[in-house]
Amino acid sequence: LFDVTELQRIDAARPAPAPWRVAPILAGPVAGDAVEAAHNPATGEKIGDVVLSSVADVETALASAAPWDAPAETRAEVLNRTADLYERNFGTLFALLATEAGKTLPDAVAELREAVDFLHYYAAGARGQAHGPRGIFTCISPWNFPLAIFTGQIAAALATGNAVLAKPAETTPAIAAWGVRLMHEAGVPRTALQLLPGHGSVIGAALTSDARVNGVAFTGSTATARHIQRAMAGACEPGTPLIAETGGLNAMVVDSTALPEQAVRDIVASAFQSAGQRCSALRCLYVQEDVAGTIREMLIGAMDELALGDPWELATDVGPVITPAARDGIAAYVDAAEAEGRLIHRLAAPPQGTFVAPSLISVGGIRDLEREVFGPVLHLATFRARDLAQVIADVNATGYGLTFGLHTRIDDRVQQIADAVQAGNIYANRNQIGAVVGSQPFGGEGLSGTGPKAGGPHYLARFTRAPGPRANIRPEGKADTARIAA
Ligand code: UN1
C-alpha cells in the first residue's frame, strides 16, 4: 500500500501541513462562532485554527440537508473513489494524525487502512441494501480514531442514502475536514455531507434534539451516550435509532498454561499501544498465581523496552496522550495509587509535551477499578485456579462488555470462558485491540454500546427504514381507507 520512498518524502516535508485553518463545511452560508487554536499534543506547538460552529450553523445544515438519492451503485462507486483518494493523500493524513492526534506512524498506518476498509465494506453493503434511508443522520465521532471511526460512521450513513451532519471530536477537526474534502471531491453532494466542528456543550443539543434528525451514530463515553439518548427522546420521532459505541473496563485472563512470551507481548500491545487510548484497551490483567511472578517480571522488562516520544519517529512505541488535562488526570490517578503503595512499575515520561509514562498498578481485582482510566495504565491482579468462575463473575458485574482477552493452552477453556463472559469482542491467545472490518467487527454489550457491530453484516440495516407496506390494499384492488398506514 505504501511506498518507502513516499514515506521518506513526507518525512522530509515535516512538519506538514501546518498551520491550517478549519471552518464548518456547510451547504449554505457559514455563520461561525469563536476561533480556537489547535495544538500538537507532543510538543504543545500551535498547529492551526478552528472556526467553531454555532447553533445557527447547525440550523443551516439541518435546513439544507437532503438524503443522497443517487442509485446505490453510484453511492458505492463514490465511496470506493473516496477510499482511493484517502490512499493517495496518505502523506497529509499521516502528518495530521501525528500532529493533531499524536498517533504513532504504525497507528496512523492502521488507522488509514481501517478507514479505507470501512469505505470499501460499506460500499459493497450499499449494493445489497434493499431498504430506504432514514433521512438525516448526526454522526458524532471520537478523537482517538479521528479518521477511522469518523469515516466509518459517515460511510455507513451515506452508503444507505442518508444525509449526514458530522460533528468531529473537539481536538481533531483538521483530520475530519480533510476527510470531508476528499469525500466531496469523490462525488458526495454537499447537501448529503456537512461538517460541524465545535463543542458538544454548544452544538450537541441542536444536533441531537431536533425532530428533523432521523438517527444518531455516536462513539464516546457512556455518560455522553446517556445524555444523547435523553435529548433524542425529548425531540425525535419514537424509534429514532441511537447507534452507540461507548466505554469499557476490559480484562484479560492469563492462566498457568499460557505461553509467557506470547502473553507478555500481547499484554503490552493491549495495554500500552496508542498510549492506552482505545476503548478496547486492556485495563485489568488477571494472572494465575503460580505464574504471576514470572509474568510480572517479564512484563516489567518488556515495559522498560518501550520507547516514548515523538510519534513521528519510527522507533516510537508510545506517543503522547491527547491533551494536558488528560495527562494531568491520568498522572494524578497513578500518583494516588503510588501513595497507597500499589504502584508496581512506572517508566519515565519525556518532560515536554503531554506524555504519560506507562505504569503497572496492583489491584485485588476488577472491582477495585472505579472507572475507565483512558491512558497507559494497567492494573494487575492474581487469581487461584478455583476462583476463575468468580473472576469471570466480577468482570461481568462491571456492567461493561467491550473486549475480553484470554491466554491459555487448554482448548476447552477458550469456549467455556467465551460462553461465560459478556463482552462484544473476545480474543484468545492474541492481543485484544485492533478489530478488523469485515472479519472481526467491533461493538460492545451492556454499558459498552448498543450494537450492531461496526464493520459487521448487520450494521447498515440500522441506518435504514424497513420498507413495509405503505397501504393495505383489498384483494379486489380497492383501498381500505380506514387501514391506510400514515
Ligand atoms: C475505540 O477505541 O473508541 O479494536 C473503539 C480496536 C478499535 C477500537 C475502537 N477498533 O482496538
For the residues of 252-283, what is the DSSP string, one character each?
A: EEE-TTS-HHHHHHHHHHHHHGGGG-STTSEE
Q: Is the shortest distance between the CB of 145 and ligand 1 below 6 Å?
A: yes
Catalytic-residue membership of 279: yes
**pTM (predicted TM-score):** 0.94
φ and ψ at residue 211, rounded to 5 degrees: -65, -20
- Ligand 1 centroid, distance to 75 Cα (angstroms): 26
> What are the cell numbers at 244?
452507540
Neighbours of 142 (CB within 10 A): 24
For residue 130, the model assigns a pLDDT of 78
Q: For ligand 1, is residue 270 a contact (CB within 6 Å)?
A: no
- Whether the CB of 277 sits within 6 Å of ligand 1: no
Give residue 424 CA to ligand 1 midpoint distance, Å. Answer: 12
The set of residues, in sequence order, having a beta carbon less than 8 Å from that of 60 and lying 6+ positions away, is 26, 27, 28, 29, 30, 31
* Closest to 42 measured CA to CA, from 376, 374, 350, 273: 350
Longest dimension (CA), the chain: 82
245 is known as an active-site residue: yes
- Confirm or reject: Cβ of 278 under 6 Å from ligand 1: yes
* Rounded distance from Cα 125 to ligand 1 centre (Å): 21
Residue 131: per-residue pLDDT:
83
| DSSP classification of residue 194 | E
Centre of ligand 1 from the C-alpha of residue 442, in Å: 7
Q: How far is the CA of 219 from the centre of ligand 1 (A)?
A: 10
Atom of ligand 1 nearest to the CA of 403: 4
Q: Which atom of ligand 1 is nearest to the CA of 220?
A: 3
**Phi, then psi, of 2 in degrees rounded to 5:** -120, 135
Extract the C-alpha cell encoding 301: 522488562
Cis omega (within 30 of 0) for bond into 238: no
pLDDT in tens, the chain (486 residues): 444 455 555 544 444 556 899 999 999 999 999 999 999 999 999 999 999 999 999 999 999 999 999 999 999 999 999 999 999 999 999 999 999 999 999 999 999 999 999 999 999 999 988 789 999 999 999 999 999 999 999 999 999 999 999 999 999 999 999 999 999 999 999 999 999 999 999 999 999 999 999 999 999 999 999 999 999 999 999 999 999 999 999 999 999 999 999 999 999 999 999 999 999 999 999 999 999 999 999 999 999 999 999 998 999 999 999 999 999 999 999 999 999 999 999 999 988 899 999 999 999 999 999 999 999 999 999 999 999 999 999 999 999 999 999 999 999 999 999 999 999 999 999 999 999 999 999 999 999 999 999 999 999 999 999 876 666 666 666 655 555 554
Beta bridge partners of 244: 218
One-letter amino acid of 112: L
The grid coordinates listed for 386 are 478455583
Residue 280 beta carbon below 6 angstroms from any ligand 1 atom? yes
Cα dist. 444→314, 422, 424 in Å?
Answer: 32, 9, 5
List of residues 6+ apart from 88 with CB closer than 8 A = none
Give the residues across from 425 on adjacent strands: 403
Amino acid, res. 241: P
Strand-pair category, 343-346 with 215-219: unpaired
**Ligand 1 pocket residue status of 433, Cβ below 6 Å:** yes
Taking CA atoms only, the protein residue closest to ligand 1 atom 5 is: 279
CB 141 within 8 A of CB 168: yes
Q: Looking at 279, 284, 372, 445, which residue is catalytic?
A: 279
Query: What separation in Å is there between the alpha carbon of 433 and the centre of ligand 1?
Result: 7
214 Cβ closer than 6 Å to some ligand 1 atom: no
Question: What is the C-alpha separation between 311 and 14, in angstroms, rounded?
Answer: 12
Which is catalytic among the residues 114, 245, 372, 445?
A: 245
Contact 103 CB / ligand 1 (< 6 Å): no
Q: Is the CB of 273 under 6 A from ligand 1?
A: no
